[in-house]
Amino acid sequence: MLLKTLVKPKQVLTTVREDVTLAEALETLETSGYRCVPVLDTTGKIFRGNIYKMHIYRHKSRGGDMNLPVTHLLKNATKFITVNSAFFNVFFSIRDLPFIAVLDENNYFYGILTHNHLLEMLSQSWNFNVGSYVLTVVSAGERGDLVDMAKVITKYTSIASCITLDVQQGELVHRTLFTLPADVSHEKLERIVASLERKNFRVSEIEDLQA
């Protein structure tokens, strides 16, 4: 579930109404310094899409009528998520956008989720601030590999976080990134690596988070 704390609420955002002109929208964009802002209906409740500064400038440079309504250059009208959206839906919906609109339980505009906020959330999942090392462990992707790797590591220490990559169909190898807690010494690290490799798990990379 998407946490509302990650979302910038409507009250603190710069938005434009659907009945303003392109000239008025450009003035708002110039004043705010943003390259893109949400467009709402006249009630301020319904998300209509986004307006981009570059599209207005392109329209203007080609001699376009700046008194046309902002909806003439509306983009991303179907690009939105809800406050209850699953993480994978959020991740793949936002990847090509500077931000994505977020709707509440009533499908009213609630706010936006920016790329920066999403990246901050992902970085927190790595536990960089409380970790010592990140091990990239290569496995064949067989059933039970993750359990076996975790068993080896937890003989020596707890696991601060775990992220698995390369899980697409047909991949011959998987990479699993384990973040170890801050109290793991270099000596203990070497024992963990040796134990993993004895179990035929190759440690392809070790990142020292304290370096």
pTM for this predicted structure:
0.70
**Candidates 3.20.20.300, 3.90.25.10, 3.40.50.20, 3.10.580.10; correct CATH number of 4-121?**
3.10.580.10
Per-residue pLDDT of the chain (211 residues; tens, 9 = 90+): 456 778 999 999 999 999 999 999 999 999 999 999 999 999 999 999 999 999 999 999 999 999 999 999 999 999 999 988 877 778 788 878 889 999 999 999 999 999 888 877 776 666 566 788 999 999 987 889 999 999 999 999 999 988 887 655 555 678 899 999 999 999 999 999 999 999 999 999 999 987 7
State the helix-helix crossing angle for 87-94 and 115-125, rounded to 10 degrees: 130
pLDDT of residue 169: 52
pLDDT of residue 95: 79
pLDDT of residue 171: 55
CA distance 6 to 160: 22
Confirm whether 4-121 and 126-208 share one CATH topology.
no
pLDDT of residue 2: 53
Q: Would you list the domain boundaries of the chain?
A: 4-121, 126-208
**Candidates 3.30.70.260, 3.30.460.10, 3.40.50.1100, 3.40.50.300; correct CATH number of 126-208?**
3.30.70.260
In this structure, what DSSP letter does residue 169 have? T
Amino acid 118 reads L
CA distance 121 to 92: 15
SS3 assignment, position 66:
coil
Q: What six digits make up the tokens of 182?
A: 């801050």
| Adjacent-strand bridge partners of 134 | 179, 207
Q: Which residue in this structure is represented by tokens 């319904």?
A: 46
CA distance 24 to 5: 31
Q: What six digits make up the tokens of 50?
A: 């986004």
- Cβ atoms of 51 and 34 within 8 Å: the answer is no
